[in-house]
Amino acid sequence: MSTQDAHELKLYSPPEAAVKGAHVSGMEAYKKLEAEAEADYQGYWARLAREFLTWKQPFTKVLNESDAPFFKWFEDGKLNVSYNCLDRNVERGLGDKTAIIFETDDGKVSRVSYKELLSRTSQLANALKAQGVKKGDRVVIYMPMSVEGVVAMQACARIGATHSVVFGGFSAQSLRDRIEDAGAVMVITADEQMRGGKALPLKSIVDEALSLGGCDSIRNVIVYQRTGGKVAWNSAHDKWLHEVVASQPATCEPEWVEAEHPLFLLYTSGSTGKPKGVQHATGGYLLHAALTTKWTFDLKDDDVFWCTADIGWVTGHTYITYGPLALGGTEVVFEGIPTYPDAGRFWKMIQDHKVTIFYTAPTAIRSLIKAAETNPAVHPKNYDLSSLRLLGSVGEPINPAAWEWYHQNIGGGRCPIVDTWWQTETGGHMITPLPGATPLVPGSCTLPFPGITAAIVDETGHDVPNGQGGILVVKKPWPSMIRTIWGDPERFKKSYYPPELKGYYLAGDGASRDAERGYFTITGRIDDVLNVSGHRMGTMEIESALVSCTELVAEAAVVGRPDETTGEAICAFVVLKRPRPTGEEARKIAAELRNWVAKEIGPIAKPKDIRFGDNLPKTRSGKIMRRLLRSIAKGEQITQDTSTLENPAILDQLAQTN
Ligand code: WTA
């Protein structure tokens, strides 16, 4: 959406019911918080850190900028994340309150109270210690969506081990790379995971990852028995989770760690080949997780909150494992997929669990719109969604048409939608409406979260006026920001703090603000990162996976093209080591290459289109002209100047689909 459109679009003022009693109620309240942060930036964050978190040792220093851009927050304070999420709630009298409503793929429901979550976390924490895991050790978690997954993360936090969750859809190779980079001492996994009625392997992928080499740091593999499916067993290091926790006491003294202690690493794609381990700290991260859950989702004691993300992504970290629990909330955790047993699953679950706040991704909404249009039986109107009072969107831009459908058909026209812009690196929401304050414009994530200094600048770091597009930056450090890239501080500096941007954090997205309200609209990545179904994929990563198929592939270039459902689709241009295939042969090789990429990275990285050429369009100096490839992928006529191209004839060839 261009900023021009924003003017013509309808403005949705917060309904009275949303304003009344909201934690941030009315625009004046929002402005007051903004003014407080502007008048005394450190004082503002210090106040919130004292209000939202329980400190074992209070901090006296707020922000240390002496080693910028390696900022430190609350550095002389000590706390424990799992204490803040569990014990504290039990101590406040919430022990019997439901923390998690868990629903399995096949619809079985169980409830876990705060008391029970605490004892299960403590038992596992004790078991990890018994296996020799110490403060600062890295533990890789490769788990299905489950209470055990949340418990595994909380147990690491309890003993000061740094977790690194790897999404269960990543391949053995990707898992291996992450284990090696993190130098992990343990993997916590499951025998299998259930998704859409199918049992998919996890443990055997861990076995394969370890067999690929480079994982000598791993001492133990702890296996949660989910399905009882058959697994290979290496008695030297494999242990069942239920066996290692069985003899452990249900209490465990938390390890009080410094606020800057690394809580987790989470690998994400960047512009270059290798995924980077985004490192988050303890205190600042938990503060923003709790604060944004409270203000953006306006979470109250009697809410039932449901974030549909997987714990393998940052959204699952912040808005499943940490934020809602830090506030003593009740949340739904779902093992399965939105289309099983049918595409009415989400709506049925909202009805069954009386969900009040629902947070999902535009891709899911778009695919469920399609499903509802083709199969009236799964249309949301068949379900009672009257418990909902607030909706959220995350991961990619939400197009106004999908927004309107979500608003009408799911929210019954009465629920505000919070379109939350943020990233793995930012830890929590950065630009988002607050439901009781901000008038909404479909397709716009509206205004910065109070205290977040988001801005739009040009290549030299100068502000661009509202109404013009530019580079999205954050001017001042904030508590939940990335601390570094694990093991590669230089890459951290280069990626996020390039010298020409005057010390601003570079988000990697383009954006604009409308002239009238200063509302932000995100226009998409400005680097070589694609956003496919809300998942970040580096084009270089996919290219290197393709060329690693050395038997077949000589050269490959990957670009994105817009896709109605997935936002962007992956399009690969490939030069083979054999003559360019056509027809049936081309389709066969394309299928082979798709499977190859799935094996190298994971099914989410499979290119949708693969086109073969005798060559790729290059400048005379040998540089691949990606902007031309982008046009071809979109099916556009080439109107750009091709005079610098060494081999213009190649363009027609690449424009042909198989
Ligand atoms: C994109 C997911 C538009 C953006 C939390 C960002 C969005 C990347 C939005 C981060 C949104 C996320 N509107 N674009 N509301 N939210 N993005 O690290 O390009 O998986 O840089 O974090 O997703 O993806 P990540």
Mean pLDDT for 482-497 is 97
Opening angle at CA 281, ends 50 and 510, nearest 5: 100
The string of pLDDT tens digits covering residues 561-602 is: 999 999 999 999 999 999 999 999 999 999 999 999 999 999
pLDDT of 7 higher than 50: no
Interatomic CA distance for residues 444 and 1, integer angstroms: 9
Give SS3 for 90: helix
pLDDT averaged over the chain?
95
Can you tell me the distance from the alpha carbon of 407 to that of 404, in angstroms, rounded to the nearest whole number? Answer: 5
Distance 536 CA to ligand 1 centre (A): 8
pLDDT at 315 over 70: yes
The answer on pLDDT for 1 being more than 50 is no
> What residues have CB less than 8 Å from 463, skipping those under 6 apart?
455, 456, 457
Higher per-residue pLDDT: 646 or 396: 396
Report whether pLDDT(536) > 50. Answer: yes
How far is it, in rounded angstroms, from Cα 482 to Cα 280?
Answer: 5
Q: How far is residue 418's CA from residue 299's CA, in Å, rounded to a whole number?
A: 13
pLDDT in the model for residue 656: 78
577: which residues sit within 8 A by CB, 6+ positions away? 551, 552, 553, 554
pLDDT bracket for residue 9 (50, 70, 90)? low
| CA 647/CA 645 separation, integer angstroms | 6
Q: What global pTM score does this model have? A: 0.95
Q: What is the mean pLDDT of residues 537-549?
A: 94
What's the CA-to-centroid distance between 54 and ligand 1, angstroms?
Answer: 30
Phi, psi of 523 (to 5 degrees): -100, -5
Q: Determine if residue 607 is left, alpha or beta; phi over 0 gives left, psi from -120 to 50 gives alpha, anything else beta.
A: beta
Residues 6 or more apart from 143 whose CB is under 8 A from it?
149, 152, 165, 168, 188, 189, 190, 193, 202, 224, 311
Interatomic CA distance for residues 372 and 394, integer angstroms: 21
* Pair 293, 495: CB distance under 8 Å: no
Going 606 to 607 to 612 to 613, the CA torsion angle's sign is: negative
Ligand 1 center from residue 486 Cα (angstroms): 21
3-state secondary structure 540-563: HHHHHHHHCCCCCEEEEEEEEEEE
CB of 278 closer than 6 angstroms to any ligand 1 atom: no
pLDDT greater at residue 649 or residue 97: 97
Q: Other C-beta atoms within 10 Å of 16: how many?
A: 8
Measured from the CB, is residue 594 less than 6 Å from ligand 1? Answer: no
User: Pairing mode, if any, of strands 238-240 and 220-224?
Assistant: parallel
| Cβ-Cβ contacts under 8 Å for 116 (sequence gap 6 or more) | 99
531 CB neighbour count, 10 Å cutoff: 20
Tell me what pLDDT residue 220 has.
Answer: 98
Alpha-carbon dihedral angle through residues 424, 428, 434, 438, given to the nearest 10 degrees:
-40
- Measured in Å, residue 266 CA sits from the centre of ligand 1 at 15
Residue keyed to tokens 């450090």: 477
Instruction: Using the Cα atoms of residue 586, residue 591, residue 597 and residue 600 in order, give the sign of their dihedral.
Output: negative
Q: List C-alpha distances in Å: 431 to 228, 428, 496.
A: 44, 10, 18
The whole-number pLDDT of residue 655 equals 85
- Nearest atom in ligand 1 to 524's CA: 19
Q: What percent of the chain has pLDDT over 90?
A: 92
Give nearest CA residue, ligand 1 atom 5: 423
Residue 658's pLDDT band (cuts 50, 70, 90) = low
pLDDT digits (tens, 9 = 90+) for 415-471: 999 999 999 999 999 999 999 999 999 999 999 999 999 999 999 999 999 999 999
CA-nearest residue, atom 15 of ligand 1: 421
Closest CA to 600 of 192, 176, 207: 176
Q: Is the pLDDT of residue 623 over 90?
A: no
Q: Reduced to 3 states, what is the DSSP secondary structure of residue 161? A: coil
Q: Count the neighbouring beta carbons within 10 Å of the beta carbon of residue 595.
A: 12
Give dist(CA 126, CA 115) in Å, integer.
17
Give 538 Cα–ligand 1 centroid separation in angstroms.
14
244 lines ligand 1 (CB under 6 A): no
Q: Predicted confidence band at 8 (pLDDT cuts at 50, 70, 90)? A: low
Using DSSP, state whether 378 is helix, strand or coil: helix
Question: With a 6 A CB cut-off, is 424 part of the ligand 1 pocket?
Answer: yes
Q: What is the pLDDT of residues 264-293, one digit of tens each?
A: 999 998 877 689 999 999 999 999 999 999
CA distance 228 to 293: 36
Q: Degrees (nearest 5) of the Cα angle 550, 553, 556?
A: 125
Sign of CA dihedral 380, 381, 382, 385: positive
Phi, psi of 223 (to 5 degrees): -120, 120
Segment (H or E) for 44: helix 41-52
| Atom 4 of ligand 1, residue of closest alpha carbon | 396
Task: Ligand 1, residue 529: give the atom nearest the CA.
Answer: 19
378-400 residue pLDDT tens? 999 999 999 999 999 999 999 99
Tell me how long the chain is.
658
Residue with tokens 């502007």: 38
- CB of 356 within 6 A of ligand 1: the answer is no
Q: How far apart are CA 348 and CA 383, in angstroms?
A: 6
pLDDT in tens, 186-244: 999 999 999 999 999 999 999 999 999 999 999 999 999 999 999 999 999 999 999 99
The beta strands (E) that lie in 292-376 are given as 304-307, 330-334, 357-360
pLDDT digits (tens, 9 = 90+) for 26-60: 999 999 999 999 999 999 999 999 999 999 999 99
pLDDT value at residue 639: 75
Among candidate residues 512, 529, 553, 552, the one with its CA nearest the CA of residue 605? 529
Split at pLDDT 50, 70, 90, the class of 6 is: very low
| Residues 6+ away with beta carbon under 8 Å from 280 | 262, 263, 264, 265, 266, 427, 480, 482, 483
- Pocket test of ligand 1: the residue of 278, 531, 532 to mutate, having most ligand atoms within 8 Å of its CB, is 531
Q: What's the token pair of residue 294?
A: 């409270």
Of the chain, the percentage scoring pLDDT greater than 70 comes to 98
